[in-house]
Amino acid sequence: MSASINANLRHDWTLSEVKALFTQPFNDLLFQAQTVHRAHFDANRVQVSTLLSIKTGACPEDCKYCPQSGHYNTGLEKEKLMQVQQVLEEAARAKSIGSTRFCMGAAWKHPSAKDMPYVLEMVKGVKAMGLETCMTLGRLDMDQTQALADAGLDYYNHNLDTSPDFYTSIITTRTYSERLQTLAYVRDSGMKICSGGILGMGESLDDRANLLIQLANLPEHPESVPINMLVKVAGTPLENAEDIDPFDFIRMLAVARILMPQSHVRLSAGREAMNDQMQALAFFAGANSIFYGDKLLTTANPQSDKDMQLFSRLGIQPEAREEHSDEVHQAAIEQALVEQKSSALFYDATV
């Protein structure tokens, strides 16, 4: 099966087509994905984001993978919404070591009326620093979505997590249609969409294919597609889930790249468990975005200096925002890494 790299973006993928991509020989799949990737991106640039938990724990949702769910005893201390100034200080640190996007996540089913003003100030403050802004706050209504857009939010993250058929095996407190409705509100407001899913929760090949079909067949492809590998946390129902085959994970990235050729495909949660060789394969398969820093909300992530060392070995450079030259941007990253190499960089929601 082949794909023309010059064809118009498709929004009509079928299950049989996508499964054929997944099941072709591994080298053929990677070659196809890399060919598509090079037609739309610099193959040696990776977009760098930082993720901060602005409100941790006690979430009313029952997502079986999540240590922040109030339904499970994972030992996670619940915390109130961070003060705006604390968030802006963390954003400044993220920018100083090369992140171009600052993502803020709150463990909510949906944002409350009393918290929205503070959230909007966070967006405005981070935006004023010259960073792209992203938030994940749960389900949004139309008015909340428009308020975030008016404040200058660039991206809204709302993952579909898995296929429609497997979804109720993982989450019962929010419907799939509610997730799709939030994505529709985000798109209608003019913001960009960040939406992907998680592998390793016991899903089938059909489920993985159908998750990507849901994303690729949206009226517009998400600009950012995070592909997460389950981080198993004691106390959650999935703490003993079977490990996913690394090659199957790489296949997911490659198929995502082929289906959504102009989207940034993010190598997201689970990188702490990936060796350098697996990450290199992920970049070859078309992943061109990562989270940078020592934590993803509440789970571990490779330290930023380790990421830069891997980038150097692979000849990869961080993707710079348009207003900065690559040389200046890279020099600033390298200098900041020297100065902050031993510091705990991004995550301290308890201060």
Residue (of 3, 1, 57) closest to 258 by Cα position: 3
Residues 6+ apart with CB under 8 A from 266: 47, 49, 194, 196, 224, 225, 226, 227, 287, 289, 290, 291
Q: How far apart are CA 30 and CA 21, in angstroms?
A: 10
Residues 98 and 318 sit within 8 Å (Cβ to Cβ): yes
Q: How far apart are CA 31 and CA 24, in angstroms?
A: 11
pLDDT for the residue 323: 43
pLDDT for the residue 57: 59
59 is catalytic: yes
313 is catalytic: no
Which residue is catalytic, options 93, 139, 174, 194? 194
Which residue is catalytic, options 63, 174, 257, 271? 63
State the DSSP code for 54. Answer: E
194 is catalytic: yes
Which residue is catalytic, options 101, 139, 257, 266? 266
174 is catalytic: no
pLDDT for the residue 233: 79
* Residue 35: C-alpha distances to residues 8, 16, 40, 140, 334 (Å): 15, 22, 9, 37, 30
- Angle (CA) 55-51-47 rounded to 5° is 160
134 is catalytic: yes
Which residue is catalytic, options 59, 93, 101, 174? 59
Per-residue pLDDT tens digits of the chain, which is 351 residues long: 444 443 579 999 999 999 999 999 999 999 999 999 999 999 999 988 888 887 765 676 777 777 666 554 555 555 567 888 888 888 888 888 778 888 888 877 788 888 889 889 989 999 998 898 998 888 899 999 999 999 999 999 999 999 999 999 988 888 999 999 999 999 999 999 999 999 999 999 999 999 999 999 999 999 999 999 888 777 788 778 889 999 999 999 999 999 999 999 998 887 888 899 999 999 999 999 987 754 443 444 445 578 888 888 999 988 875 443 444 444 443 443 333 333 333 333 333
Which residue is catalytic, options 66, 93, 101, 179? 66
pLDDT for the residue 38: 96
Which residue is catalytic, options 101, 103, 257, 271? 103
State the DSSP code for 157. Answer: E
pLDDT for the residue 241: 80
pLDDT for the residue 56: 65
Which residue is catalytic, options 38, 134, 179, 271? 134
